[in-house]
Amino acid sequence: MKAIRRQLWGLSLFLLMGVSACQGGSGDEKVVNVYSARHYDVDELLYDEFEAETGIAVNIIEGKPDELIERIVNEGEQTPADVFVAVDAGRLWRAQEAGILQPVDSEVLNAAVPESLREPSGQWFGLTTRARVLVYNQDKVKPEALSTYEDLADPKWKGQVCVRSSSNVYNQSLLGSMVESIGPEATEAWAKGLVANFARQPEGGDVDQIKAVASGLCDVAIVNHYYWARMKKDTEEAKEIENTAVFFPNQADRGTHINISGVGLVKGAPHPENGIAFMEFLVTPEVQKVFADGNNEYPVIEGVALDPVVAELGDFKVDQTNVASYGRNNPVVNEIVDRVGWK
């Protein structure tokens, strides 16, 4: 009910601020207006906590990231949005390219968020990370047979690999990071080999890939770690995938690819100080702990305890490629997947 109330409140706010903007607006209001593509119940608790600590009311408009970007573009100088939140570096890059974000120079954010997890000019910052891992069927694959993303293009995996569509932004970001790390030619060769090894044409989301591994339809799949962790915490789903396990690829070289959820300050935000205060609040240890527990994600700051199921996966080497490269390389990625026939 609270989520519904916030969305309706956000709609009312939008209508009211459209009027007030024409009359000059009011930048000293104790509010922050957040356009968010994160749709997790735990976030509601954080909004309430921010309100309690600061007296600044949090108004939320939720939607799909591309729709929110388009909305802010269309609203132009009249937008009530202060902060934009998305769940992929590629979408944050799209927001930047659309010209709807502005740089933030915050000592708090710069100190809390590692350089590789933020846009170099300060247009957006990572809030959480998620690893793009391999889930494998333990009855059919030994962990020592796994090594890297690149190895999945080897003919020995023919008919054994599942992954979702190339249009999925998580896969596009993985490819974008590979373009940055190993170059476009090597990335295309890998994608071509991967397609040749598909157990089926891509369909469904990450959960569907995990279930396909568990059922024996494929031996290994590329997924975000938190989907597997979420299923392991559900009594019924845990039984369904009990024959699966997680493997972190590329530990002997660049490390496992990670993506982020992140936040940026909207250009022309009517309440910029409140927006920055909200952004800084999201990288405090207490909030990072809520993120970690609530959605099985990894925090961006050090020293925060992980969710127990995620912690059991163990430590792993993280690819330090700057996440801003994912979006920057996206045009090349789209050309690659078209040429190799990755639907």
Q: What is the pLDDT of residue 15?
A: 46
Q: What pLDDT score does 42 carry?
A: 80
Q: Which stretch of DSSP H or E encloses residue 208?
A: helix 206-215
Does residue 92 sit in the same domain as residue 167? no
- Give the residue numbers spanning the domain of 203: 131-257+316-340
What Å distances lie between residue 40 and 6, 36, 66, 239, 284, CA to CA? 13, 10, 18, 24, 18
Nearest CA to 42 out of 290, 215, 244 is that of: 290
pLDDT digits (tens, 9 = 90+) for 56-96: 999 999 999 999 999 999 999 999 999 999 999 999 999 99
Task: Say which CATH number the domain at 286 has.
Answer: 3.40.190.10
Q: Residues 59, 107: one domain?
A: yes
> Is residue 249 domain-shared with residue 149, that is, in the same domain?
yes
* pLDDT per residue as tens digits for the range 290-336: 999 988 999 999 999 999 999 999 999 999 999 999 999 999 999 99
Q: Which residues are annotated as a binding site for Fe cation?
A: 39, 226-227
pLDDT, residue 39, reads: 81
268 and 207 part of one domain? no
pLDDT for the residue 45? 86
Q: Is residue 311 part of a domain?
A: no
Residue 10's pLDDT is: 46
Q: In this structure, are 178 and 208 located in the same domain?
A: yes
User: Which of residues 8 and 342 earns the better pLDDT score?
Assistant: 342
pLDDT digits (tens, 9 = 90+) for 250-263: 999 999 999 999 99
The residue among 316 and 16 whose pLDDT is bigger is 316
Structurally, the chain folds into a number of domains equal to 2
